[in-house]
Amino acid sequence: MSVRHFLSMMDFTPQELVGLIRRGSELKDLRDRGVLFEPLKNRVLGMIFEKASTRTRLSFEAGMIQLGGQAIFLSPRDTQLGRGEPIADSAKVMSRMLDAVMIRTFAHDTLTEFAANSRVPVINGLSDDLHPCQLLADMQTYHEHRGSIAGKTVAWIGDGNNMCNSYIEAAQQFDFQLRVACPEGYEPSATLLAQAGDRVQVMRDPHQAVAGAHLVCTDVWASMGQEDETAARLALFRPYQVNRALLAGAAEDVLFMHCLPAHRGEEISEDLLDQPFSVAWDQAENRLHVQKALLEFLVEPAYHYA
Ligand code: CP
Ligand code: NVA
């Protein structure tokens, strides 16, 4: 069987995705009960980070250790990748030594090129275009708090960035309606919007997007790599701050999510993360559990060697 990769939400079937988030909750329960579960003994995950990370690095590294394996942090600064060794050559070499590779990168093409040359599964730990691992955690978190998200309305407020693009894919895979409120010129991928059809609506007014919504999400206004646009973006995005006044128009049982890190006072009001309807800390924790489910799914168990 050819090797599976997880570069986007569209790489898995809806049934596989639902299975992963269920399994994430099961693995969370095992850990909560102190049960040792080490199916990936002797397995090694390589983690290439071209951008900074707290949650993604920690959750993959801790996750591999908890599953009985190991993770190796690879910075382009300290590897030949940073000195121009081609992606394809690096993929051929690394995938002969590792059991899976996670990559956080700028250009999404880096992921597709690496995957095309890799013998082992490649996982997207965030690119300029997509952040599918975060969506697994978000979907697990919604499911744990409210049950199935199918048929619900989700509002994305702010930048049509990598997270927003992954929400467009998730809307198709998990069967929910998505409303995106963003300033003109900051829309998500036109290709993904065309693919999603009437499942996703783009609008300017955040109040219209939030009206009756069951889940409201946002993210920073300047993503990694856009630091020099920060001042211009702060001014332009000001009307898109998510705060209690905006959320007053949402459904009574609305949940608020933010993939973090957050900039309090910018895309969210100072106190928002600590409100009862905010599930941002659970969302962050679930990165660990659902990515363990992903690793379990993608990486062959070590006992195949026995
Ligand atoms: N949400 C997220 O991916 O966080 P990090 O940038 O800390 O990995
Ligand atoms: N959109 C943000 C997400 C960080 C997890 C970024 O790309 O920087």
**CATH of region 5-131+287-298:** 3.40.50.1370
Per the annotation, does 104 bind a ligand? Answer: yes
* Known catalytic residue at 207: no
Asked if residue 236 belongs to a known ligand binding site, the reply is no
Q: Which of 133, 163, 229, 258, when mutated, tests ligand 2's pocket best, judged by the most ligand atoms within 8 Å of its CB?
A: 163
pLDDT > 90? residue 227: yes
What pLDDT was estimated at residue 306?
40
Closest by CA position to 285, among listed 146, 140, 169: 140
Residue 1 has pLDDT above 60, yes or no: no
How far apart CA 117 and CA 154 sit, in angstroms, is 37
Annotated binding residue 132: yes
For residues 105 and 111, give the distance between their C-alpha atoms in angstroms, rounded to a whole number: 8
pLDDT band at 2 (very low <50, low <70, confident <90, very high): confident
E strand or H helix that includes residue 255: strand 255-258
Ligand-binding site membership of 223 (annotated): yes
* pLDDT single digits (tens) 115-166: 999 999 999 999 999 999 999 999 999 999 999 999 999 999 999 999 999 9
Q: How far is the CA of 55 from the centre of ligand 1 (A)?
A: 5
The 10s digit of each residue's pLDDT in 35-63 is 999 999 999 999 999 999 999 999 999 99
Query: 0.85 cut: is pTM over it?
Result: yes
Nearest C-alpha to atom 2 of ligand 2 is from which residue?
A: 223
Give the residue extent of every domain in the chain: 5-131+287-298, 132-284
Kindly report the CATH number that applies to the domain delimited by 132-284: 3.40.50.1370
Residues with CB under 6 Å of ligand 1 are: 53-56, 126, 134, 259-260
How many Å lie between the centroid of ligand 2 and the Cα of residue 150? Answer: 26
Catalytic, 134? Answer yes
3-state SS, 173-228, equals HHCCEEEEECCCCCCCCHHHHHHHHHHEEEECCHHHHHCCCCEEEECCCCCCCCHH
**Segment (H or E) for 293:** helix 280-298
Strand arrangement, sheet containing 153-157: 200-203, 177-181, 153-157, 215-218, 255-258
Which of 66, 134, 241, 283 is an active site residue? 134
Classify 65 as helix, strand or coil. Answer: helix
Kindly list the protein residues whose Cβ atom lies closer than 6 A to any atom of ligand 2. Answer: 126, 161-163, 219-220, 223-224, 259
Mean of the per-residue pLDDT values of the chain: 97
pLDDT tens digits, residue range 248-275? Answer: 999 999 999 999 999 999 999 999 999 9
Q: How far from chain centre, in Å, is Cα 174?
A: 15
